[in-house]
Structure 1
Amino acid sequence: MAQPAEGTHRDGPLRETIRDALRTRIFEGVYPPGMRLVERDIAAEFAVSRLPVREALRMLAQEGLLAKGASRSSVVAGLSDQDVDDLFAVRASLEVLACRLAAERATPDDLARLGELVDRAADALARGSVNEAHRANSAFHDEVTRIAGNRFLRTALEPLQGRMHWLFRHVNDLAELVQEHRDLLAAIASGDPARAGAQSEHHVGKYHRQYPDTV
């Protein structure tokens, strides 16, 4: 069987596979803020050339998850209080719009998918699988953006998604967060954009007010 061409993978481009793996490690605290990521070592771990690793690191830097360190190295970035305030302000505007659009455009299949993600988070939490619950909660917000069906909105949100998911992985009361997502799903399912937007604004604002206790 022929081997995949350099830069590709059976599950997508290598750079994206590597990016997703590194992003998960950042989210789950394996790579804490300030840690230096060495391109050469990552390439050896994944048994690839340094090119897809370099691209993966660039993509993570665009998401705000990495910063430039000494000698142009990549370092896991932290967030200042001002960064968090600014991020929540932008997130509130964009996600309220996403939820309003989702309320207008969601199909029964879309709503079923959102329900599955909420149930997955609840089931994972009941089993004590916190990381799995976090993944399902993050996927819920990504799915709302997809349902909104606005490519310009999606493009605006993409650079922020990594940081937003990282923030919400520091929520202390996951059971409460799951219930918040159930309430948001109900608002979207109502088909009322005003209700969905108001629920989204409440949802984002609630966790902003809890910072820095939450993060």
Structure 2
Amino acid sequence: MAATTEEPQRSAPLRDVIRDALRTRIFEGHYAPGTRMVERDLAAEFNVSRLPVREALRMLQQEGLITERATRGSVVTGLDEKDVDDLFHVRIALEVLACRLAAERATADDLERLRTLLDGAAEALARGNLADAHRLNSEFHDELTRIADNTFLKTALEPLQGRMHWLFRHVRSLPELLEEHRDLLAAIASGDPDRAARQSAHHIEKYREQYPDTV
């Protein structure tokens, strides 16, 4: 299969290029849960040695998007109903804290960066580019964690990031999600940690109710 436009520029390390391309394909459903990720085949597809493919798969495994099975090797991870429920419990605990801290610590530049991400998502949506809209909405959440500026919180969220982003892709309405994010930004910009925490909890609970039993 020839290289696609989903792949980042080759100025990045090969392992990152391959990881990003495979992650995008997983997010967009090109690789269903249970799909085998064969090093040899992927190396041939990307026209590289097996080493950067192995490193990319290891990185995706750390994100929870790939599982290593004794009998089948590397396979795309699936999330069942309990996995989704467990992930949302952790998400609401950690993201509400991130938003509370962001309301306390966000600078004018931080708030402008958040607005730029949401404006970019709206523009992508208007163009019909759903992949970019999803990506920018995911980056909005990542930016909140950066603004929170808590090393232990960041460390706790990093192993979940891949699965979080995967779940973000399953929202029913991107325009509605964008408005939810604008409300969350307004709460953070108010500088009121309690308001930001309430808005974050509302946002997460609302989307938990919309998820299918399995993803």
- Give the alignment's TM-score, normalised by structure 1: 0.90
Cα deviation, residue 99, structure 1: 0.6
- Matched-pair contact (CA < 8 Å) for 1:67–1:76: yes
Alignment match, 1:199:
199
Cα deviation, residue 72, structure 1: 4.9
Show structure 1 runs of 5+ residues with no match: 1-8
Q: C-alpha distance in 2, partners of 1:140/1:200? A: 13
Q: Does 1:55 align with 2:55?
A: yes
Secondary structure of 2:172's match? coil
Alignment match, 1:171:
171
Q: C-alpha distance in 2, partners of 1:210/1:174? A: 13
Secondary structure of 1:75's match? strand
Alignment match, 2:3:
none
Cα deviation, residue 214, structure 1: 9.7
Secondary structure of 2:170's match? coil
Cα deviation, residue 145, structure 1: 0.7
Secondary structure of 2:30's match? coil
Cα deviation, residue 20, structure 1: 1.3
Task: Pick which of 23-32 and 71-80 moved more.
Answer: 71-80
Q: C-alpha distance in 2, partners of 1:34/1:71? A: 12
RMSD: 1.7
- Matched-pair contact (CA < 8 Å) for 1:18–1:53: yes
**What whole-Å deviation, never above 9, does each CA across 1:8-44 have from its counterpart, x for those lacking one?**
x964432222211111110011111121111112222
Alignment match, 2:26:
26
- Matched-pair contact (CA < 8 Å) for 1:172–1:214: no
Secondary structure of 2:112's match? helix
Q: C-alpha distance in 2, partners of 1:147/1:67? A: 31
Residue identity opposite 2:101 in structure 1: L
Identity %: 73
Residue identity opposite 1:99 in structure 2: C
Alignment match, 2:68:
68
Q: How many matched pairs?
A: 207
Distance of aligned partners of 1:72 and 1:214 in 2 relative to their CA distance in 1, 3 Å threshold: closer
Q: C-alpha distance in 1, partners of 2:211/2:15? A: 33
**What whole-Å deviation, never above 9, does each CA across 1:93-131 have from its counterpart, x for those lacking one?**
000111111111111111011001111111111111111
Q: C-alpha distance in 1, partners of 2:49/2:98? A: 38
Alignment match, 2:104:
104
Secondary structure of 1:170's match? coil
- Give the alignment's TM-score, normalised by structure 2: 0.90
Show structure 2 runs of 5+ residues with no match: 1-8
